[in-house]
Amino acid sequence: MSVDGKLNRFTSTDGDLAYRDTGTGDLVVLLHSGYVDHRVFDAQTPALTAAGYRVVAADVRGHGWSANASAPFRWADDLAQLLRHLDAGPAVLGGVSMGGVIASDTAIEYPELVRALVLSGASTSDFEYTHEATRAILAASARALGAGDVEGWLTVFLSAVAGPFRTTDDVDPALLARLSEMARHTLAKHTPGEHDWHVPLTDVRSRAAKIDVPVLTVNGSLDSPDLLADAELLAATVPDGRPVLIEGTSHHPNMEEPEEFNRVLLGFLDTL
């Protein structure tokens, strides 16, 4: 369940999508990383609402309490439907990993709905890892998922959380347990080998350069070096990009160092 036990739902063109909606003020929409759900932002939501923001933390299609896809869909279209349902844009979109990709896709495809971007562990949806250790983790994840080996996949998933330069022994066990519980819940919604209905956005890299809203990239210093370089490149390419590193963290700096992440996030929002 969410922090306060309550989730809202709206009927999309393909099933109900869930989101948590708290606070009042300017809208900040938070989008979680792959395989988990809105609870990734349990430390950000109260800090943002206390600072006077309305916070919507969504469950991406196929994750958490949102419906699985039964037809082709694009992440940006789902998010645009949610924003129009809320009738509260343009919004600041913040996302971790997959969620950051969804945020940047939406800024490209629906610029009128976006006020600013906060991308963590992400750049654009056409990014591909070249770092050898990171690619090995991704390949192991795909093999385990294809075989329906949930326990093996969770081991790989948590090693990805630790990042390419640490082991899970270096990460807070409580954080790993939280992510494991979320991932088990999402995986239970799916079957091995099911069809992937997601349709990628096209011409992303060339179109991303035209994003004309402020963009904060905030990443963990221990994340994959090619991702960090690409995030810095994106920040340097857009008209108003601001890269920040949070030392000693990897792919989920918002969970590993929530106080520092919140400080950076709120400082950015204060400038808008």
Q: Give the DSSP letter string of 103-164.
A: HHHHHHH-GGGEEEEEEES---TT-----HHHHHHHHHHHHHHHTT-HHHHHHHHHHHHH-T
Mean pLDDT, the chain, whole residue set = 95
Domain tally, the chain: 1
Which residue segment(s) compose the domain that 66 sits in?
8-128+197-270
Residue 171 lies in a domain: no
Does the structure show a pLDDT above 60 at 3?
Answer: no
pLDDT band of residue 73 (cuts 50, 70, 90) is: very high
Predicted local confidence at residue 193, as pLDDT? 85
Q: pLDDT band at residue 5, thresholds of 50, 70 and 90?
A: low
Return the CATH number at 68.
3.40.50.1820
Lowest-pLDDT choice from 40-54, 129-143, 165-179? 129-143
- The pLDDT assigned to 148 comes to 87
Angle 179-48-251 (CA atoms, 0-180°, nearest 5)? Answer: 35
Taking residues 95-103, report their average pLDDT: 97
pTM for this one? Answer: 0.95
Distance CA 269, CA 233 (A): 22
Average pLDDT of the residues in 98-114: 97
Q: For residue 89, what pLDDT is reported?
A: 77
The packing angle between helices 150-162 and 132-146, to 10°, is 160
Share above pLDDT 90 across residues of the chain, in percent, rounded to a whole number: 89
For residue 2, the model assigns a pLDDT of 41
At 115-160, the pLDDT tens digits run 999 999 999 999 999 999 899 988 988 898 888 899 999 999 999 9
59 lies in some domain: yes
- Report whether 113 contacts 80 (CB < 8 A): yes
Residue 4 pLDDT grade (very low, low, confident, very high; cuts 50, 70, 90) = very low
- Res 171 pLDDT > 90: yes
Residue 143 covered by a domain: no
In a domain, 98, yes or no: yes
